[in-house]
Structure 1
Amino acid sequence: MVDLREAAEAEYPDIIAMTNRAFREPAGQADWKVETLVDGRRIEESLLRDDLAEPGAKLLIWRDAAGEHMGHVRLDEGPDGAWYLAMLTVRPDRQDGGLGRALLAAAEDYARARGGRRMRMTVVHQRPELIAWYERRGYALTGETEPFPYGDDRFGTPTRDDLYFDVLERTLGPNA
C-alpha cells in the first residue's frame, strides 16, 4: 500500500536528489525511463520552491513502513476538478517492480478523495515509450501541446531544439 503524505521542507534535498537520479542518470535504468534529451539536472531547489508556491500545489512523499523514501509526486489542484500530475518519481534501484504504477494509482486516489475528476500531465513528445506507459494506465493524448522551457537552466540543457510537451489526461471516476 502506498501511503502519501505532504513532504516536509527538510525532505526537499532528498526529493531533489532522487528526482535527478531517476530522470537524468541512466546507470542501471532502461533507456526509456531516462530523459536523455536533456542534460543536467531535472530540478533544483529554486524551481521546486517556485512550483510549490503555486496555489493548490502539493509535494507528496511515499515512505515504506521502515521509513525508506520509495518515491514522490507533485500534484496541483486546479479548477473544475482538474488536477495536474508532475515529477512522478520512484527509486531508480527499485524500478520494474510495479512501484510507478502503485504511486500513480495512489496519486490518482489522493486527487479523487479531494474532489478530483480528471488528471492532466505533460510528457516530452519525443519520449513515445513513456507516453505509451501512461496510455496503458488510462491516459490519452488530448491533442494539446505546450512549449519546452528553453532558456531556463533550472530544467536542464536540451540536447536538441525541437522539444515540446504533449498533454495527457485521464478521467478520475469513482471506479477509474
Structure 2
Amino acid sequence: MSLSLSIVPAKQEDVPSIVHLVNSAYRGDTSRKGWTTEAELLEGIRVDEAGIKQLLADANTTLLKATTEADELVGVVQLEQQGTSMYLGMLTVKPTLQNGGIGKQLMVAGENLAKEKGCAKMVMTVISVRQELIQWYQSKGYTITGDRKPFPTDPRFGIPKQPLEFIVMEKPLA
C-alpha cells in the first residue's frame, strides 16, 4: 500500500492529534494492531499534551508530521539537533498502517532535515529488548554503538513492567 503523504513540521494546533496517535501506537490495546507496541513492556501513556507542547516550543526540536490527502495524521517523528548530531525519536505510525512505508518516509525526511542543518550523524535510543525494532533500524543503516542509557523513571513516559534500558544507535550521514 502506498499512500500519498505530506510531511511537514507540526504546529501547536496538532498537539491533541499527535498525543492521540503516539499513545495509540505505543500503548494499550490499539497499539497491538501494529508491530511497534510497547504495551507488554510499559503501562500508562507515552506522551501528554504538555510534553508535546514543550517539544514544539524547543528551538532545537522539530516534529515532522505525515498526513494523507484527506489530512489524516498517520505518522510523526521527533528530531532534536544536538550539536552535529540529530536525535531521532518517537517515530510513530498509525498501527493499522504500519509496514506500509510511512515510517521509512518519515525517517528519510528526518535524515534530510539533519543534512540541511549540517548534522554529520543521526542518533537514537531504542529499548534494548525491542529486537524487532532494532533489526528494522539496522536494515535502514543504523548501528548499535555499545552505549546504554537508563530508562526514565518519570511515570509521564510510562511505568515499566520489567527492568528496561535503552541502547544507542547511530547512522552517519553522507
TM-score (norm 2): 0.89
- The answer as to 2:173 corresponding to 1:169 is no
Q: Write the distance in 2 (CA, Å) between the matches of 1:121 and 1:10.
A: 27
Contact 1:145–1:165 under 8 Å retained in 2: yes
- The answer as to 2:51 corresponding to 1:47 is yes
Equivalent position of 1:72 in the other structure: 76
Specify the SS of the correspondent of 1:33: coil
Equivalent position of 2:95 in the other structure: 92
Over the aligned positions, Cα root-mean-square deviation in angstroms equals 1.7
* 1:79-113 deviation per Cα after TM superposition (whole angstroms, max 9, x unaligned): 1x210011111111211212111221121112112
| Change in CA separation of 1:98 and 1:140 when aligned onto 2, cut-off 3 Å | same
Structure 1 residue aligned with 2:105, among 86, 102, 109?
102
Specify the SS of the correspondent of 2:135: helix
Q: Write the distance in 1 (CA, Å) between the matches of 2:101 and 2:114.
A: 20
Contact 2:7–2:66 under 8 Å retained in 1: yes
- The answer as to 2:126 corresponding to 1:123 is yes
| Change in CA separation of 1:96 and 1:26 when aligned onto 2, cut-off 3 Å | farther
Unaligned regions of 5+ residues in structure 2, if any? none
Which moves more between the two structures, 59-68 or 125-134?
A: 59-68
Equivalent position of 2:23 in the other structure: 20
TM-score (norm 1): 0.88
Q: Write the distance in 1 (CA, Å) between the matches of 2:149 and 2:129.
A: 13
> What percent of counterpart residues are identical?
38
Specify the SS of the correspondent of 1:133: helix
Contact 2:64–2:106 under 8 Å retained in 1: no
Contact 2:12–2:53 under 8 Å retained in 1: no
Q: Write the distance in 2 (CA, Å) between the matches of 1:106 and 1:53.
A: 20
Unaligned regions of 5+ residues in structure 1, if any? none
The Cα shift of 1:55 comes to 4.2
Which amino acid in structure 1 is aligned with residue 69 of structure 2? A
Specify the SS of the correspondent of 2:19: helix
Which moves more between the two structures, 140-149 or 66-75?
A: 66-75
Structure 2 residue aligned with 1:159, among 158, 161, 172?
161
